[in-house]
Amino acid sequence: MRSGFPDFRLGTVLATSFTGTLSERHGNAVERIPTPQRLIDWLAVYGLAVDSCTPAQLELARELRESIHAAATAAALQDPIPAAAVQVINDRSAQGRGAAILTAEGGREWRLGSASRLEDALGVIAADAISVISGERDGKLALCASPTCQAAFFDTSRSRTRRWCDMNTCGNRQKKARFNANQRKDPSSAG
Shortest Å distance, C-beta 5 to Zn ion:
20
Q: What angle do CA 108, 7, 52 make, to 5 degrees?
A: 60
Q: Applying CB under 5 A, which residues contact Zn ion?
A: 144, 146, 149, 151, 165, 170
Residue number, 53 or 149, with CB nearest to Zn ion: 149
Residue number, 142 or 144, with CB nearest to Zn ion: 144
List Cα–Cα distances, 60 to 38, 69, 160, in angstroms.
14, 14, 33
- Torsion of the alpha carbons at 33, 34, 37 and 43, rounded to the nearest 10: 10
Give the integer Cα–Cα distance in Å for 14 and 6. Answer: 19
Give the integer Cα–Cα distance in Å for 180 and 174. Answer: 10
Shortest Å distance, C-beta 8 to Zn ion:
15
Residue number, 126 or 149, with CB nearest to Zn ion: 149
Residue number, 21 or 146, with CB nearest to Zn ion: 146
Count, residues in the chain: 191
Shortest Å distance, C-beta 66 to Zn ion:
17
Shortest Å distance, C-beta 42 to Zn ion:
18
Give the integer Cα–Cα distance in Å for 17 and 39. Answer: 13
